[in-house]
A and B are shown apart, each in its own frame.
Chain A
Amino acid sequence: MAEPVLSVKDFTVEFWVDGVWYPAAVDMNFDVEAGKVTAIVGESGSGKSTTAMGIMNLLASNARTQGSVKIKGEEMIGAPASLLRKFRGKEVAYIFQEPMTALNPVYTIGFQIVETLRNHFDIGPKEARIRAIELLSMVEIPDPEKSFEKYPHQLSGGQRQRAMIAQALACDPALLVADEPTTALDVTVQAEILDLMRGLKTRLNSAILLITHAMGVVADMADDILVMKDGKVVEAGSADAIFNRPSHPYTQELLAAVPKLGHSAKRTLEFATLTKPAPVLTLENVTIEYPKRGRIPAFTAVKNFNLEIFPGEIVGLVGESGSGKTTVGRASIGLLPIKEGKLTMAGTDISHATQKELSKIRRHTGIVFQDPASSLNPRLPIGESIGEPIFLAGVAKNQELNHMVEDLLDQVELPRSYRNRYPHELSGGQRQRVGIARALALTPDLLIADEPTSALDVSVQARFLDLFQGIQEKLKFACLFISHDLAVVDILSHRVAVMQDGLLVEEGDRDAILKNPQMEYTRKLIEAVPVPDPAEQALRRAARLSKKN
């Protein structure tokens, strides 16, 4: 058997915080062979990224590493900086999650690839350029000659990720470390990038260490899997074994928490058989425009959009980034003005409402935001954030307000004592629950949920969705649930609307849309979703690729 490219033995990473060493990864043991993909999966804080960075000693200054990391037989732990520098980029290349921040915005992507090449090889600028363009065409960037001269901001997210992969591949690395390479991308783009990586693996015969939390991506790519939790590997094995015969309870739990498209129970509305009540929210031919600013021309984000939401109904709004779904959500509660069309909220026309009129309807609406880190004021205790809508509406004060806040905390299953805590003391999932409590403070008729789960881990997401569904069934508010994750929408919604480039593509009953889509775009979207089952995913991939060719 050939010697593995990467061999990790008893590898431990610890961080020095406030006088104590905290272990972030403990006793890691694994090998990665050439032409194979080893995936490390786990939730945030499990130490998977720390392990990846620790291999090349790229950790912060308050970290220390122990054990042994061998790359092509050379020991990396305690190696001199010059040796590490020689290995970084040449033998080990990294692909990061966010290509916008990993590429330097002031240099062209061509320059950045040439820089890597000339750092490691003794070649002239002209040869390097030729090689760089070759790399760019290898990662299937359209018009590589022209793209060579482009700056990162001139490329789309998927193209940026391709450019970064091209840079990583510049020196034919023996080991490619991909740290959440597709997390920031849309599903269709994600599918393309995964195809690309899969193709490169067989062509270049590199070893890939894939760090991710998405089980679907793992099912698509990995040969071997390590499951990490709290810095420890709880289970390791082949992809087939982990997915089909998970032995550790945590792995089983993790797999159970992944929402699966097309596997959720049918949801029916009470009024489905009766005559329909008046809609809570109606959008008629709504056009929303971001006005021109300076030399940037006006941008039409949403065009001729029609949607109705009835009481007690959850409508899922799906689409890729930039499709205008968040814009629709914000306009629906008057955070953005609409340019044309008619927007009716609980019987009131708010198409061109003034601030005063809006403040009246705001008592009937709530919104849950996407980013748990920025949706709560860091200087206010949780209780005050939740109580603010009640206080401002003049519903209750002092003692009575405190009681209402406590009730709301009970409702989202947070301890009452959290009233006096600050947002930074809570985890992402807890903060998102506080966001719900705040949105529900005035028992609204309409709730806008703007990607509330996209920043959460799968198990936290599962709990959140569970809770959300429970509350919705109890309080029976109407909800516009915006998400890019079709599986999540599948679980929650009664009806689904699909958006693309500011236009409504398709709208209808959940099962009709997700099981039997009429439009090409919807079909493409559904096919691109990776399924957390290696065998089924392989079939889906083959079907998708055969259609493409």
Chain B
Amino acid sequence: MALFKRKNVELASADASENAIANKETEGLSQRQIVVKRFLHHKVAVASVFVLVTLTLFVYTALDFKLGPWKIHGWWKYKIEDIPELRTADCAGGNVGCPTWSLRPKFLGGAGIGFGEHPFGQDDIGRDYFALVMKGAQRSIMVMFIVGIVGGTLGTIIGAIAGFFRGTVDAVLMRFTDFVITIPSIIIGSVIGFHFGNLGATFLALYLGLFSWTGLSRLVRGEFLKLRELEFVDAARVAGASNRRIIFKHILPNAVGVIIVTVTLLMSGAILLETALSYIGFGVVAPDVSLGLLISQYQDSFTSRPYLFWYPGFFIIAIALSVNFIGDGLRDAFDPRQRRRLTLKDRRVGRAEKKAVE
């Protein structure tokens, strides 16, 4: 084999230089590290993670919180059951129970930076509105996560089975999915809320989850149909892997990008759905509290006491927006075709260098 006797040293470097430039950005990183790195480049998404985490902690530590045998005392002085006296003094326009929080320091003639007695004001009978909004936000966040987990799990499993086995199994599962899709979610939600609303927000969320997996399952099915044809799946089969191992060890981790992105969008949709249902009276019902319910209860007072509207509304928007942005950032991070665009700064540096060269 005289043909192949040659120095291998230089060829080794040629071997490594293949795709060298394209891989510069991902050199020496695992898949997960690449995703994390790309995600951290998405400033809005990173800010949204911060906002969501802060909001969740803030909201859940405000009131007494029970989780099984553990009991956490809230840092806020009122509970939702408390009915303190209605404040009538120092409110503009003869209103009662106006918000007391202020950002205007005392030396500028304000009330000083702080929450005051009832930061978000009081409702008709004097209940502390801050406590109510905190409770409502807790409900929204909980609904969001339960729907995400239930819908995500169902959608992934159904989509994975349909996409992997194809044929009859696929046809049956996908026709069932089509059937569920044709029923508008708001109607399903209304029926569920009507029957189970009094069982509490947890049940409502579970049932919402049972009907919100359809979009995800279709996407996961498509991803499985694509991935199962790749050669590493055949390689695993030749290695003696069972169907179960191929699905969970080989295909599912490669579909995780689609799943995570869709689930985050599903979650922000769930918040809005819960709010909408509560607003039309089929979601969470009194004495429980939810943000949608609060808005619905005080819609008459929009002109006279708009703050009863603003605060729940603000929390709905803040949570839904930040979840959406996180989903956006994750989609970019998981998309291998997504090359980082040149930022203005990059261009500036590039131009300066070009000048220096010339």
Residues of A within 8 A of B (CB): 15-22, 24, 43-45, 60-62, 64, 66, 229-230, 249-250, 253, 256-257, 259-260, 263-265, 330, 333, 335, 359, 362-363, 365-367, 369-371, 374-381, 385, 388-389, 392-393, 422, 424-425, 427-430, 435, 438, 441, 457, 459-460, 462-463, 465-466, 469, 491
Contact = CB atoms under 8 A, between A and B. Distances in A.
B350 A389 contact: no
A264 B18 contact: no
Interface stretch (B137-145, B177-185, B232-240, B323-331): B232-240
Contacts of B1: 264-265, 466, 469
Given A17-B24, A64-B350, A424-B31, A229 B14 contact: yes
Given A22-B24, A263-B3, A392-B240, A367 B346 contact: no
Nearest to B12: A463
B11 A44 contact: no
Interface in B196-255: 230-232, 234-241, 245, 250, 253-254
Contacts of A491: 3
B30 A422 contact: yes
A393 B350 CA distance: 55
A462 B4 contact: yes
A464 to B, nearest CB: 10
A463 B346 contact: no
A60 B340 CA distance: 12
Interface of B: 1-4, 6-8, 10-11, 14-21, 23-31, 230-232, 234-241, 245, 250, 253-254, 339-342, 346, 349-350, 353-354, 357
B34 to A, nearest CB: 8
Contacts of B25: 17-18
A333 B239 CA distance: 11
Given A17-B24, A43-B14, A388-B236, 18 more contacts: A17-B21, A18-B340, A61-B342, A64-B354, A335-B238, A374-B230, A374-B232, A375-B231, A379-B31, A392-B239, A392-B245, A393-B240, A425-B23, A425-B26, A460-B11, A462-B4, A463-B11, A466-B1
Contact of B231 (A362, A369, A379, A441): A369
B339 A62 contact: yes
B41 to A, nearest CB: 10
21 contacts: A15-B21, A21-B350, A22-B21, A24-B21, A43-B18, A45-B18, A45-B19, A64-B354, A256-B3, A256-B6, A367-B238, A374-B231, A376-B235, A377-B250, A378-B31, A380-B250, A424-B23, A425-B23, A425-B26, A438-B239, A466-B4
Contacts of B254: 377-379
Given A374-B230, A388-B236, A60 B353 contact: no
Contacts of A441: 239
B239 A388 contact: yes
Contact of A366 (B7, B29, B31, B238): B238
B13 to A, nearest CB: 9
Given A379-B31, A438-B239, A45 B17 contact: yes
B240 A438 contact: no
Given A16-B342, A21-B350, A379-B253, A427 B18 contact: yes
A389 B339 contact: no
Contacts of B28: 425
A45 B15 CA distance: 10
Most chain-A CB neighbours within 10 Å: which of B1, B237, B238, B357?
B238
8 tightest A-B contacts by CB?
A389-B239, A379-B253, A375-B231, A369-B231, A392-B240, A427-B18, A374-B230, A377-B232
Nearest to B347: A16
Contacts of B241: 388, 392
A504 to B, nearest CB: 24
Given A17-B21, A392-B241, A463-B11, A60 B339 contact: yes
A389 B240 contact: yes
A49 to B, nearest CB: 12
Given A17-B25, A457-B14, A459-B14, A66 B357 contact: yes
A377 B236 contact: yes
Contacts of A378: 31, 254
B26 A427 contact: no
Nearest to B345: A19
Nearest to A465: B4
Contacts of A369: 231, 234-235
Given A265-B1, A389-B240, A392-B240, A44 B253 contact: no
Contacts of B16: 427
Contact of A371 (B18, B231, B342): B231
B238 A428 contact: no
Contacts of B354: 64, 66
Nearest to A50: B21
B237 to A, nearest CB: 7
Contact of B10 (A64, A250, A429, A435): A250
B128 to A, nearest CB: 50
Contact of B342 (A62, A259, A375, A463): A62
B237 A335 contact: yes
A365 B238 contact: yes
B358 to A, nearest CB: 8
A24 B22 CA distance: 10
B38 to A, nearest CB: 11
A72 B14 CA distance: 36
Contacts of A392: 239-241, 245
Contacts of B24: 17-18, 20, 22
Nearest to B30: A422
Contacts of B29: 425
Contacts of B346: 16, 19
A99 B151 CA distance: 42
A21 B353 contact: yes
A428 B14 contact: no
Contacts of A45: 17-21
B238 A363 contact: no
A253 B6 contact: yes
Nearest to A384: B249
Nearest to B353: A21
B168 to A, nearest CB: 13
A264 B238 contact: no
Most chain-B CB neighbours within 10 Å: which of A229, A376, A427, A428?
A427
A459 B340 CA distance: 32
A207 to B, nearest CB: 28
